[in-house]
Every structure is written in structure tokens, then in C-alpha cells.
């Protein structure tokens, strides 16, 4: 596998995805990244998944869930399981 200025490999995209989401790529890297995305549905799906995962983790670490909120979530969960059993 040779590294050229041309097409980016899926493996390379995977390695760069966190930098891309953090806005840390250089402009040429970013352009190649987006060019690959435009041509590769697998990597588009991967990026969507990563964005979702990192977004969720980021929110949780930013502010912890209050006891009231957790209690509410638990009651919703209990009501849901009661309905579906
Ligand atoms: Zn790809």
C-alpha cells in the first residue's frame, strides 16, 4: 500500500477520523478526506457512527446526569419494560 497524493485509502481515513471531527486536519488532508467520503459510502457510514459516538460521549462527560434526571430515565425505562413484557 503506497501513500500518494491521490486517493486516500479507507484505512487512512479511519486513522484520521478523530482529527477530522476535531478540526485538526490540514486543508489538503481535509480535502482528500472529503473526496474519499464523497466516493465511499462505507466511510460515510463510519464517519456518521463516529460522530454520533463522540457526540454522545462528549455530552455525557461535559455535564454529569443529575439524580433527578437519572430517576426520570429509570422510571421511563421501567414503564417501557413493564409495557413490553
Ligand atoms: Zn472508504
Classified as helix, coil or strand, 7 is coil
Q: Cα of 4 to ligand 1 centre, how many Å?
A: 16
Mean pLDDT score, 34-40: 95
**Average pLDDT over every residue of 59-68:** 60
Measured on CA atoms in the order 26, 31, 32, 36, is the torsion positive or negative? positive
Q: What share of the chain is helix, strand, coil (3-state, %, to 5)?
A: 75, 0, 25
pTM (predicted TM-score): 0.58
Ligand 1 (ion): which residues have CB within 5 A?
10, 40, 43
**CB 37 within 8 Å of CB 67:** no
Interval 35-64 mean pLDDT: 80
Report the percentage of the chain scoring pLDDT > 90.
39
Tell me if 21 sits within 8 A of 51, measured CB to CB.
yes
For the ranges 18-22, 41-45, 57-61, 77-81, the maximum mean pLDDT occurs at 41-45
Amino acid at each position: 500500500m503506497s501513500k500518494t497524493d491521490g486517493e486516500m485509502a479507507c484505512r487512512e481515513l479511519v486513522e484520521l477520523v478523530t482529527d477530522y471531527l476535531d478540526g485538526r486536519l490540514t486543508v489538503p488532508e481535509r480535502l482528500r478526506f472529503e473526496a474519499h467520503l464523497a466516493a465511499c459510502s462505507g466511510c460515510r457510514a463510519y464517519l456518521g457512527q463516529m460522530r454520533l459516538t463522540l457526540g454522545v460521549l462528549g455530552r455525557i462527560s461535559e455535564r454529569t446526569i443529575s439524580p433527578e434526571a437519572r430517576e426520570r430515565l429509570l422510571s421511563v425505562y421501567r414503564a417501557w419494560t413493564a409495557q413490553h413484557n
